Chains A and B, each alone.
Chain A
Amino acid sequence: MPGLLEEIAYDIGAAWTIARKDMKIYYIKPSILVSSLLFPFVMFLAFAIGREAPAGTLIPGLVAITLLFSASSIEPVSIPIERRTKTFDRLLSAPISVRAIVLGVSLSGAIFASVIGLATTVIGLVALRTGIIYIGLLLLGIVLTSLCFSTMGTLFASYRTENVGEVMSLLNLVRLPLLFISGVFIPISSMPAWGQTIALISPLTYAHDLILFAFNGTTRYGPVADIAVLVLALAVFQIAGALLYQRSRE
């Protein structure tokens, strides 16, 4: 089907154009880079001080949290601002699909988060003198997790407002509980039965499980299931985002 292939190529091209623009405007800024790199360090202090957690368990948790926050933090800011300045109308009026807009906005967040996630990993490995068992799986986990959570951020930003605070409040209502139900702070095996059930619906659970497996070979659900759930969550966020942005064109 050349029509479909042409459509996909067109969407990817448009998404890459938007991603490059967003990287330049929102991500490649000294203040954003510094604060994003400081975030895992602060989390490390909060996370590790006074605890006897081994490096192979500690770093995956830090990386997972870093990916969640760095991937999903800019879209809920950039999109309401672009609505206010009417630059978002440029995207809506261009000959590109809403799918491409959602993908493009998410792609820049994913690239940024992947870089920050990798930097966190490298710093963690050097500082805590530990190693990785499956490097390929770790890289896949970082990229997939980044894309999944950046698309989640884009999805939340579909809420039709020009007020950044409104979107961030909504996002944090979901993002903060994820930290506690996904096995990052409290191992899932230590949770009560209801907690273990809730953990199943959090994409962060599988992201953390996959990264943990890449680091020390331990897993609760298996890497295949982790990857499958992350891909499924990504697809759900992308499709829901495209539908909501389409609907918001009132």
Chain B
Amino acid sequence: MNAIEVIGLTKRFGDNVAVNGINFSVEEGETFGFLGPNGAGKTTTIRMLTGMTRITSGQALIHGHDIVRDTRAAKQLMGIVAETSNVYDELSAWDNIIFSGRLYHLKETEIQRNARDLLETFDLYDRRHDLAESFSKGMKRRLTLAMGLVNRPKVLFLDEPTSGLDVQSRRLIRDVIQDLARENVTILLTTHNIEEANVTCDRVAIINRGIIAGIDAPEKLKQTFESFQSVEVSFDAVRPGIVEALRAFPEATDVRKEGDKFRIYTADPPEILASLCTLAQAQNLRPISVTTRGPTLEEVFVRLTGLPVDRKKEEGESDAGLA
């Protein structure tokens, strides 16, 4: 049985279709990434899967429990970490976790044991009696994650778990996610951080305008776009008209100048290497570095969503690993 099964899931807000009949499934123990620009439908999908937002049509099953018909059983299996660190500022870290545990109807001894373990894991135990309002952004984020794990969920939903965090908190949270994956916890995380999805997820769904544009393992998605392979070259000197000369290569699909380097996109890197040797000889240039690269997940993302990188940056995704 799949941990998450989504069938024709649709969400309309009036005439606006936020999520348009998406289908996907997530196996038990899998870490699944939902990647997309702002407004693509990532958070709306999570809100439907977790019963926070009503489903317009379609079905979502959590370990076989329908989120609409069998809501409590489905929710009992979930942990949810929202995009905003939604802790109660006026409660201590300890009271925040205890409150979350009680909402899951756990035994008091189990709640207290889990609270202690989680606060230690997230390096908050020494501050357990402090009000959450005195915590830094990273500490609040860690507390939010601890609250989402108090019921030892089988399925964990993480909405932008490391967005805007300092390196230490980001690394701690990533380590915990990897530990959970090893414990066979199914994880569905949304992110606009492409690198995070690349290194964390077994599979990634790229969603744009409410539609899944591609879904596969990050490496397989990259292989889908052979034309996004590239050769990166740097010469010992700069000659005028070099970009035009590179663009003239019959195998080159695009050429970009990136600092002192040139990136030549191609479906056939060996042919480009041969052409580069010819060009270097003809123009008396000495290549000081040459690297061949497969497509990055970012390039797959751009290809599938049709969004140029600059536009995404304008939409506030500067920490998305796109730079």
Chain B 126-153 per-residue mask, 1 if CB under 8 angstroms from chain A, else 0: 0000000000000000000001000000
Q: Which of A9-17, A141-149, A230-238 contacts B (4 or more CB under 8 A)?
A: A9-17
Q: Is the CB of A86 within 8 A of B84?
A: yes
Q: How far is the CA of A96 from the CA of B105 in the complex (A)?
A: 9
Q: Is the CB of A249 within 8 A of B53?
A: yes
User: Is A92's CB within 8 Å of the partner chain B?
Assistant: yes
Q: Is the CB of B75 within 8 A of A95?
A: yes
Q: Is the CB of B52 within 8 A of A95?
A: no
Residue numbers in B under 8 Å from A17 (CB-CB): 99, 102-103
Q: Which of B88-96, B193-201, B220-228, B289-297 contacts A (4 or more CB under 8 A)?
A: B88-96
User: Is B21's CB within 8 Å of the partner chain A?
Assistant: no
Main secondary structure of the interface of A (DSSP, over half): helix
Q: Is the CB of B88 within 8 A of A21?
A: yes
Q: How far is the CA of A195 from the CA of B157 in the complex (A)?
A: 56
Residue numbers in B under 8 Å from A86 (CB-CB): 82, 84, 86
User: Is B174's CB within 8 Å of the partner chain A?
Assistant: no
A138 to chain B, nearest CB (A): 33
Known A-B contacts A86-B82, A87-B87; the reply to A92 vs B103 at CB < 8 A is: no
Sorting the interface of chain B by its residue count into under 10, 10 to 19, 20 to 34 or 35 or more gives: 20 to 34
Q: Is the CB of A25 within 8 A of B76?
A: no
Residue numbers in B under 8 Å from A94 (CB-CB): 75, 100, 103-104
Q: Is the CB of A89 within 8 A of B52?
A: yes
Q: How far is the CA of A97 from the CA of B95 in the complex (A)?
A: 22
Chain B 64-88 per-residue mask, 1 if CB under 8 angstroms from chain A, else 0: 0000000111011010101010111
Residue numbers in A under 8 Å from B52 (CB-CB): 89, 92-93, 249
Q: Is the CB of B54 within 8 A of A249?
A: yes
* B13, B52, B53 pick with most chain A CB within 10 angstroms: B52
Residue numbers in B under 8 Å from A85 (CB-CB): 84, 86, 89
User: Is A250's CB within 8 Å of the partner chain B?
Assistant: yes
Known A-B contacts A21-B91, A249-B54, A250-B53; the reply to A95 vs B105 at CB < 8 A is: yes
User: Is A129's CB within 8 Å of the partner chain B?
Assistant: no
Chain A 167-188 per-residue mask, 1 if CB under 8 angstroms from chain B, else 0: 0000000000000000000000
Residue numbers in A under 8 Å from B78 (CB-CB): 93
User: Is B29's CB within 8 Å of the partner chain A?
Assistant: no
User: Is B51's CB within 8 Å of the partner chain A?
Assistant: yes
B56 to chain A, nearest CB (A): 10
User: Is A24's CB within 8 Å of the partner chain B?
Assistant: yes
User: Is A90's CB within 8 Å of the partner chain B?
Assistant: yes
Residue numbers in A under 8 Å from B99 (CB-CB): 17, 21
User: Is B305's CB within 8 Å of the partner chain A?
Assistant: no
Chain A 64-98 per-residue mask, 1 if CB under 8 angstroms from chain B, else 0: 00000000000000000000011101111111110
Q: Is the CB of B76 within 8 A of A95?
A: yes
Residue numbers in B under 8 Å from A89 (CB-CB): 52, 82, 86
Chain B 91-125 per-residue mask, 1 if CB under 8 angstroms from chain A, else 0: 10001000110111100000000000000000000
Q: Is the CB of A24 within 8 A of B91?
A: yes
User: Is B190's CB within 8 Å of the partner chain A?
Assistant: no
Residue numbers in A under 8 Å from B88 (CB-CB): 21, 25, 87
Residue numbers in B under 8 Å from A13 (CB-CB): 102, 105
Q: Is the CB of A95 within 8 A of B71?
A: yes
Q: Is the CB of B103 within 8 A of A95?
A: yes
Chain A 21-60 per-residue mask, 1 if CB under 8 angstroms from chain B, else 0: 1001100000000000000000000000000000000000
Residue of B with least CB distance to A248: B54
Residue numbers in B under 8 Å from A24 (CB-CB): 90-91, 95
Residue numbers in B under 8 Å from A10 (CB-CB): 72, 105
Q: Which residues of chain B from 34 to 60 have any CB-CB distance to chain A below 8 Å in the complex?
A: 50-54
Residues of B in contact with A (beta carbons under 8 Å apart): 13, 50-54, 71-73, 75-76, 78, 80, 82, 84, 86-91, 95, 99-100, 102-105, 147
In order of increasing CB-CB distance, the 5 nearest A-B pairs are A95-B75, A94-B103, A86-B86, A17-B102, A86-B84
Please give 12 more A-B residue pairs, beta carbons under 8 A apart, in addition to A14-B103, A93-B75: A10-B105, A13-B102, A25-B91, A85-B89, A90-B100, A93-B50, A95-B75, A95-B103, A95-B104, A97-B72, A249-B53, A250-B53
Residues of A in contact with B (beta carbons under 8 Å apart): 10, 13-14, 17, 21, 24-25, 85-87, 89-97, 249-250
9 contacting pairs across A/B (C-beta < 8 A): A10-B105, A13-B102, A25-B90, A85-B89, A89-B52, A90-B86, A93-B52, A95-B72, A250-B13
